[in-house]
Amino acid sequence: EEQYFEINNRCVWPNVIDAHRLEFYMIFIMTRGEGIYTFGPTELYIRENTLCFIGPDMIRSWRAQMDEQQGFFVNFSETFFSQGFMNRRMLHDFPFFQVGGHPVIQLSETESQDYLTLFQWMKKEYDNRTEFSHAILRSYLHLLLHKANAHVKEEKPDTVYDNGAGIRLVKAFKALYMRDF
């Protein structure tokens, strides 16, 4: 897997994206607009001040419910994210990338502005790349994910993500598959 990173304004998204599978991780923030986002078996109504996380191999689709869409989306490979870190499984430990996890965070206006600032910093660094940009972009990604992780843990500190035999079975299968793969 190659190192891959890309960030763009969300307004470049079409209003309808047919079902397809991602080969990378995606995080997006919606600051204006709304629509129906389907990832895996889950269909959610996404509106402004929402942060969403999609892992690789997840089948996703999008149907906008408003013409105007604003925000940012960032795509990256696990290789890019993990470069220079001992824990290569860190991404899999975040609740938003787990099966049956927590892929959407509804933000307050103030929280949304904090995350938006991070996305804007990433976009500025990405548009003006230097030899140091990969390390800087990776640091922003780590900051974003750790901040979101803290948010989820503070909101729902007692949540157990193994809620049900079906999800435990899928998680066990996925862990074995990834180990053998």
Q: Could you give the strand order of the β-sheet that contains 59-64, starting from the edge strand earlier in sequence?
A: 16-21, 59-64, 35-39, 42-46
Please write the tens of the pLDDT for every residue from 155-172. 765 544 444 444 444 444
Cβ contacts of 56 within 8 Å, gap of 6 or more: 22, 23, 24, 25, 78
- 77: pLDDT strictly greater than 60: yes
pLDDT per position as a tens digit, 105-137: 999 999 999 999 999 999 999 999 999 999 999
Q: Please name the residues in contact with 51: beta carbons below 8 A apart, sequence gap of 6 or more.
A: 27, 28, 29, 104, 105, 107, 112, 115, 148
Structure tokens at 87: 């824990």
**What pLDDT does 65 receive?**
84
Say if residues 120 and 68 touch (Cβ distance below 8 Å): no
d(CA 134, CA 149): 22
pLDDT band for position 138 (cuts 50, 70, 90)? very high
Chain segment 8-52, per-residue pLDDT in tens: 887 666 777 887 787 889 999 998 888 888 877 778 888 999 999
The per-residue pLDDT for 13 is 66
